[in-house]
Structure 1
């Protein structure tokens, strides 16, 4: 923060500054606080909200020159229109101090016009202005192919464990002492710090699990952290299985804990996932994986190809196939077959984006899918579905999918 302050206090300002770091490392907060405390003229624009170049230009002009400035732009402004209006307004309202344009989530600029980023990096040729780009990716992945002025690079590192402890402890519950909440945060970080260092996600986990942590306080004292830890430990381990996925809301999480307490016996292993609400497309991916594991590959046309005609099961059945596939267990299948079945059974059209592949990885992490084979194999990865029939039937009911209709053993 001190480096940023020194940069802004210098008389000769930099044309552009590129600030990068992981999510929730304080980039936006630090810049907003510095510009506000130093009383510098600035415009903060979120590239997520600016779905078009015109909105981006309007937000910059409105923040720097007032409400009447955006009316000077044409209805669908181009980069040259923005430069012309910006230069005109700079002449009319000259500033003694450097103006600052802060573009948050600046990596989204790469999806806009190719000349937009180089133009912003050279905007100081028109006026005493510094463009600050805030991004979650490094400059080497950000730099456009057309070439541009190199900005000054500043890195915001991840918070250390001690810093996370200090920040999260500030959210102490008003009904309990700060010392108790700090002890809870210390336990939370002891479990999750090795797998999650995102401040927002840790704050979400703290809000979900604190009520469970303080439940035994009617029988034990606040200082007896050992008994409090024994009560919260199984719930934190369960929460670790769904970290980052945000599969349930806070209310759903409370309802789930209440249901499990009323049930006779604790549910162990994979069956514990039956009470966890998976994301919508993850359910269909799991359904497709189950069908690929228990249906012979040659029957895919019969189940998933339109206008296939009516084909009896006896036409598929070979002489040696007299045993149910469910008795033989799940068989491995390639990734392309999984995706083909997924796109056939899902209701809406889904593009093969990285989100779909990340959900497959999440299912593997949750042990709902098993990846088979070796990492050094040259062909595509293969998977096995690791859930029971009762589990997949329960999942299919939540998305109104008739699972039995597509299973070869039930024809």
Structure 2
């Protein structure tokens, strides 16, 4: 709150109090934004660049300030604006109304947008600064090359008291156009710390239980998930989804709210299972609640909660992952035997058997393999089913992003990247059955 009051300017203290209540752990950033925006009747800086990781409060802080302080603004999502024309219409509609959008031609250019905006400014002079907020602004780089430089100095082009605010998940150094542009003011939103996440999530306490119980539940949840996830939205979703399981012993009367160790022992295995579904939305909330109530009769262990057991991949990606598994667990010298026709027979004499006596590769774990070996196996196992296309490289990157493949080696090895397969035998066998491929026949350990 002190950060907001320090930059309060002419804003009422009551409004700032309401803003502070809605922005826990972001008072410093909100105060800095107020100082950058300045007084309502004065010219503000032409453009502001706000960056930070996903779910760090960028959009929430910006919208809360503009809404609570009743500042004229237009908020545009660059994801939803699939064309430049739609983007122009959204800005004009929010700031000037539907009459302004009717003045645009069917396929408006950037100059048409600037002309219509200037006309509306002459009809409706700005009593205070107007704000244009662009979420997911990194997508502007894929649009017209002149679009981003124009918005960065939009105030000068339209001769109006307007500030363009860009919200992005990437830093400005990777955002800046190669042709050069006006440099915006930059503001960084850091990731929430564990204490801040605890404070924010604890505010969502359940009305049927005490706030202290919910706070202890959030502490347990963060203890499990903080190492793999700091996304506030993801954590809030997980907290709401698993709270009913946490409260089961309380509803059955087995423990009291103060008996945290017993509550922890009840929820711990469940949260570890749930951790496998972080970011992989293959299980809906309704399905998850049903799975919570489904238990194996013999073992008492919940069924079907593994994310890898449910993830569905594109057709090519399945064969790429099959090829990666074969490359990780088969010696390279056996590739010719498995994937080349008429390779010749290998006579297994006593000398040969003693020389090649082996320990199971599955016990030793996956071994790294080069990209060209993966592609060679991929083309062999796909065979005549489909004609492979150039999109397989992007699918390899997607498998790495999903942590089904792991890229190994140094960053300077750009010409020969190496990978490891990060899935188990049960998963790859289940997936290979969906494409009618018997992977066991191609594994050296099972000969």
Q: Name the structure 2 match of 1:337.
A: 373
Q: Name the structure 2 match of 1:307.
A: none
Q: Are 2:250 and 1:221 equivalent residues in the alignment?
A: no
Alignment of structure 1 residues 173-188 onto 2, 5 Å: 173-188=206-221
Instruction: Work out whether residues 406 and 421 of structure 2, in 8 Å CA contact, stay in contact via their aligned partners in 1.
Output: yes
Q: Name the structure 1 match of 2:345.
A: 317
Q: Name the structure 1 match of 2:195.
A: 162
- Alpha-carbon distance in 1 for matches of 2:72, 2:437: 61
Q: Deviation at 1:326?
A: 11
Q: Deviation at 1:123?
A: 1.0
- Alpha-carbon distance in 1 for matches of 2:148, 2:411: 40
Give the TM-score normalised by the residue count of structure 1.
0.82
Deviations 1:231-282 (A, max 9, x none): 11122223334433334322333444444543427599xx985873124246
Q: Name the structure 1 match of 2:75.
A: 44
Structure 2: unaligned runs, 5 residues or longer: 1-29
Q: 1:203 aligns with which of 212, 236, 241?
A: 236
Q: Name the structure 1 match of 2:432.
A: 396
Deviations 1:69-123 (A, max 9, x none): 1121122111111112111221122221111111111111011111111111111
Q: Name the structure 2 match of 1:94.
A: 125
Task: Give the alignment's Cα RMSD to 1 decimal.
Answer: 3.6
Structure of greater relative contact order (alpha carbons < 8 Å, 6+ residues apart): 1
Instruction: Work out whether residues 400 and 407 of structure 2, in 8 Å CA contact, stay in contact via their aligned partners in 1.
Output: no
Count of aligned residue pairs for this structure pair: 391
Instruction: Work out whether residues 286 and 385 of structure 1, in 8 Å CA contact, stay in contact via their aligned partners in 2.
Output: no
Structure 1: unaligned runs, 5 residues or longer: 303-310
Q: Deviation at 1:179?
A: 2.3
Instruction: Work out whether residues 118 and 149 of structure 1, in 8 Å CA contact, stay in contact via their aligned partners in 2.
Output: yes
Q: 2:288 aligns with which of 221, 238, 253?
A: 253
Alignment of structure 1 residues 48-197 onto 2, 5 Å: 48-125=79-156, 126=158, 127-197=160-230
Distance 1:273 1:286, change over 3 A: farther
Q: Name the structure 2 match of 1:381.
A: 418
Deviations 1:307-337 (A, max 9, x none): xxxx56xx44333599999995468443333
Q: Name the structure 2 match of 1:308.
A: none
- Alpha-carbon distance in 2 for matches of 1:43, 1:339: 48
Instruction: Work out whether residues 274 and 305 of structure 2, in 8 Å CA contact, stay in contact via their aligned partners in 1.
Output: no
- Alpha-carbon distance in 2 for matches of 1:135, 1:61: 22
